[in-house]
């Protein structure tokens, strides 16, 4: 009975926050990376097993909330194992709700797609991209952020003249 209650509670929490993670292939992500519209995309590559990623996670929630009425979309790309989605990622999202689309990238051959994200990326995480195709912005950050440093970097990046 306790297991059933725990499962029902988990489902309710996930539903209440809309926390889900869609499993995706790189082709789906490529559409965002090559978008030419005037929306600014903040794309963060992370994993639940990455300590700096988890530590900076609230900074992205703060950014999404602060810019929720602007042409800004936050996309959190989980590099957790697809087979572990229900065991690790969904419970993490239930505990750490975020106003963002979360994709679980199911592409185990990292060498086939990392250079397509950015040639400067060596494969470490966390990594964040800030992209606005209409304005020619494609900025790559291979470090973690605090809420303040993320907001400052975001503001500086979207205000730079191309």
Q: Are strands 127-132 and 137-141 parallel, antiparallel or unpaired?
A: antiparallel
Domain 2-159 has CATH 3.40.50.10470: no
Residue 63, both tokens: 């950014």
Alpha carbon of 150 to those of 7, 9, 73: distances in Å?
Answer: 35, 33, 14
pLDDT tens string 45-89: 999 999 999 999 999 999 999 999 999 999 999 999 999 999 999
- Cα 67 to its chain centre, rounded Å, is 15
Identify the H or E element spanning 140.
Answer: strand 137-141
Q: What global pTM score does this model have?
A: 0.86
Domain ranges of the chain: 2-159
pLDDT in tens, 125-134: 999 999 999 9
DSSP 79: -
């Amino acid at each position: 009975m306790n297991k059933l209650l725990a499962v029902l509670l988990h489902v309710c929490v996930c539903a209440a926050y809309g926390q889900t993670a869609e499993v995706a292939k790189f082709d789906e992500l490529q559409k965002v990376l090559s978008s030419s519209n005037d929306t600014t995309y903040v794309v963060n590559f992370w994993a639940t097993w990455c300590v700096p990623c988890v530590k900076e996670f609230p900074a992205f929630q703060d950014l999404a909330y602060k810019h929720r009425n602007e042409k800004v979309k936050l996309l959190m790309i989980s590099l957790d194992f697809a087979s572990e989605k229900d065991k690790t990622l969904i419970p993490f999202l239930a505990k750490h709700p975020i106003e963002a689309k979360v994709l679980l990238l199911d592409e185990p051959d990292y060498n086939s797609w990392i250079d397509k994200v950015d040639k400067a990326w060596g494969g470490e995480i966390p990594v964040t991209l800030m992209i606005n195709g209409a304005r020619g912005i494609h900025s790559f950050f291979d470090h973690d952020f605090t809420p303040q440093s993320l907001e400052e970097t975001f503001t500086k990046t979207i205000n730079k003249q191309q």
